[in-house]
Amino acid sequence: MRVREATEQDLDAVIHVGVTTWRATYPPITGETYVEEGIAKWWAPDAVLPGIRAGTMLVAEMDDQVVAMASYSVFEDHLMLWKLYVLPDSQGSGAGSALLSEVIARAGDLPVRLTHLVGNDRAHAVYERLGFVESATVPSPIDDGPEEIVMERPAG
């Protein structure tokens, strides 16, 4: 397993991770309309490239193939994990944990915050194991989507 910053050459692989994972994970939770709206909004090249160019997107590789990605940035008084996705066939491989550990390391003195969809119990359990605690519930950023659970891990 290798974790590294994404480059522009990873664009298609990063989009593949996101789109594949969304289509495999979210329909039972959100319905197809939410999935397709989210893919159009957050997985188009114009939505992915800024994080790559800013150096705030990481990928995890196994056998020289990108199997997972994470994007983050400093936001207000914390480091926000915006995306963390692992291809369905690679879930349980440690790729997600490796990416999250790197994001936490990059946070330095800042707490790390993330959100996940209400109903995504698997993600919730993973984040809890890694020291995140539920702190709030917020409305969906997509009309008629499920609420999101906010989780936070203290600095350090």
For the stretch 130-156, pLDDT in tens is 899 999 999 988 888 899 999 999 987
Q: Taking the CB of residue 2, how many other CB atoms lie within 10 A of it?
A: 12
Reading the chain (156 residues) residue by residue, the pLDDT tens digits are: 999 999 999 999 999 999 999 999 999 999 999 999 999 999 999 999 999 999 999 999 999 999 999 999 999 999 999 999 999 999 999 999 999 999 999 999 999 999 999 999 989 998 998 899 999 999 988 888 899 999 999 987
Say if residues 112 and 152 touch (Cβ distance below 8 Å).
yes
CA 88 to CA 86: how far, in whole Å?
A: 6
Residue 148's SS3 state is: strand
CA 133 to CA 15: how far, in whole Å?
A: 29
Phi, psi dihedral angles at 132 (to 5 degrees): -85, 145
Q: Taking the CB of residue 38, how many other CB atoms lie within 10 A of it?
A: 20
Q: What is the pLDDT of residue 145?
A: 86
CA 114 to CA 80: how far, in whole Å?
A: 6
